[in-house]
Amino acid sequence: MITMNDIVREGHPVLTKTAEEVQLPANETDRNTLMEMLQFLKNSQDEKVAEKYQLRPGVGIAAPQIGIPKRMMAVHFEDYEGKQYSDGYFNPKIISHSVEQTYLSTGEGCLSVDREVPGYVPRYARITVKAINLNGESIKLRLRGYAAIVFQHEIDHLNGVMFYDRINDINPFEAPENAKPCD
């Protein structure tokens, strides 16, 4: 099982590299890894399991965060409209996005960052993502709000981008251009 010991922290070069495409159809090893990443998120949100194994709660995780430079990510959360997202994805790609931006008014946290980095993280308000899911199906997701933010945060990890790279250095709490907060 994945625990916090497996989570790579900022400063490790794997977090600032571009991850490699996964060879499809995914082999046993990559499928097992992605299933373990999804299970980690579920465990991290289960009070008892998280307490027992001292897991930090997360709603998304990308393979580079466990030291694997492959384009794989998993999500497990319910958005503000109660829509559930719980799956693993191979080679996710943002194929289109809105001009309009959004951000979490509370800022973002990251399992690989053991400190608070205050500030708004500008994200596209709406994105369309193509990926192969854990069942091997080619899927297209149209995402907005919290779901769009989570997917962009995790896809950034596949491109070596950390959330704080996007915070305005001069004024971290300056509302980004044509952006509305998502929460």
The site for Ni ion (CB under 5 A) is made up of 110
Which of ligand 4LI, Ni ion, none sits in contact with 45, Cβ below 5 to 8 A by type? ligand 4LI
**What whole-number distance in Å separates Cα of residue 160 and Cα of residue 17?**
5
**What whole-number distance in Å separates Cα of residue 36 and Cα of residue 152?**
21
Which conformational region is residue 91 in: left (phi greater than 0), alpha (psi within -120 to 50 degrees), or beta? left
**What whole-number distance in Å separates Cα of residue 109 and Cα of residue 32?**
26
Cα maximum dimension of the chain: 47
172 binds ligand 4LI (CB under 6 A): no
User: Looking at 51-59, 85-93, 124-132, 165-173, which segment touches ligand 4LI (CB under 6 A)?
Assistant: 51-59
Least distance from C-beta 92 to ligand 4LI, angstroms? 14
Least distance from C-beta 156 to ligand 4LI, angstroms? 9
For residues 26 and 76, which CB has a smaller minimum distance to ligand 4LI in the complex?
76
For residues 47 and 177, which CB has a smaller minimum distance to ligand 4LI in the complex?
47
Q: Are 98 and 127 in contact (CB under 8 A)?
A: yes
Binder of ligand 4LI out of 31, 153, 157, 166 (CB under 6 A)? 153
E runs forming strands in the chain: 60-62, 72-78, 84-97, 101-103, 123-124, 126-133, 138-144, 179-181
The residue number whose beta carbon is nearest to ligand 4LI equals 109
Instruction: Report residue 67 CA to chain centroid gap.
Output: 15
Q: Which of residues 100-119 bind ligand 4LI (CB under 6 A)?
A: 104, 106-111, 116
Residue 177 is among the residues annotated as catalytic for this protein: no
Which contiguous run of DSSP H or E holds residue 44?
helix 28-44
Residues tagged active-site? 154
Residues that bind ligand 4LI (CB under 6 A): 45, 57-60, 77, 104, 106-111, 116, 149-150, 153
